[in-house]
Amino acid sequence: MGFPNGFTDEPQKSLLSKARGIGSSALRFRGGTLFREAEKAPKPEFVYSTPQVNINPFTPDSLEIQSSAGLCRGRKRALLNDSCGEDMEGSDCELEDEDIRPAKRIPITESNMKSRYATEFHELEKIGSGEFGSVFKCVKRLDGCIYAIKRSKKPLAGSVDEQNALREVYAHAVLGQHPHVVRYYSAWAEDDHMLIQNEYCNGGSLSDVISENYRTMQYFTEPELKDLLLQVARGLKYIHSMSLVHMDIKPSNIFISRTTLPNTAVEEADDEECGSGKVIYKIGDLGHVTRVSSPQVEEGDSRFLANEVLQENYTHLAKADIFALALTVWSAAGAEPFPTNGDQWHEIRQGKLPRVPQLLSQEFVDLIKLMISPDPEKRPSSVALVKHSVLLSASRKSAEQLRIELDAEKFKNALLQKELKKAQIAKAAAEERAHFPDRIATRSTTQNNRTTRLIGKKMNRSVSLTIY
Residue list for the binding site for ATP: 127-135, 150
With contact defined as beta carbons under 8 Å apart, do 113 and 12 qualify?
yes
Q: Report residue 459 CA to chain centroid gap.
A: 75
List 161, 227, 248, 321, catalytic entry: 248
CA-to-CA dists, residue 445 to 169, 430, 431, 442, angstroms: 76, 18, 20, 5
Task: Give the span between the Cα atoms of 39 and 36, in whole angstroms.
Answer: 8
**Cα(first)–Cα(last) distance of the chain, in Å?**
113
Task: Give the span between the Cα atoms of 218 and 224, in whole angstroms.
Answer: 12
Neighbouring-strand partners of residue 152: 133
Which pairing describes strands 121-129 and 133-140: parallel, antiparallel, or unpaired? antiparallel
Query: Is 248 an active-site residue?
Result: yes
Task: Give the span between the Cα atoms of 371 and 94, in whole angstroms.
Answer: 51
> Using only C-alpha atoms, what is the Rg of the chain?
32
Residue 303's SS3 state is helix
In order, the DSSP letters of 214-254 are HHHT----HHHHHHHHHHHHHHHHHHHHTTEE-S--SGGGE
What backbone phi and psi angles, to 5 degrees, belong to 440?
A: -65, -40
Q: Residue 47 carries which side chain, given as an amino acid letter?
A: V
Q: Which residues are annotated as a binding site?
A: 127-135, 150, 253, 285
Longest dimension (CA), the chain: 136
Task: Give the span between the Cα atoms of 320 and 249, in whole angstroms.
Answer: 9
Q: Which residues are annotated as a binding site for Mg(2+)?
A: 253, 285
Q: Residue 288 carries which side chain, given as an amino acid letter?
A: H
- Residues assigned a catalytic role: 248
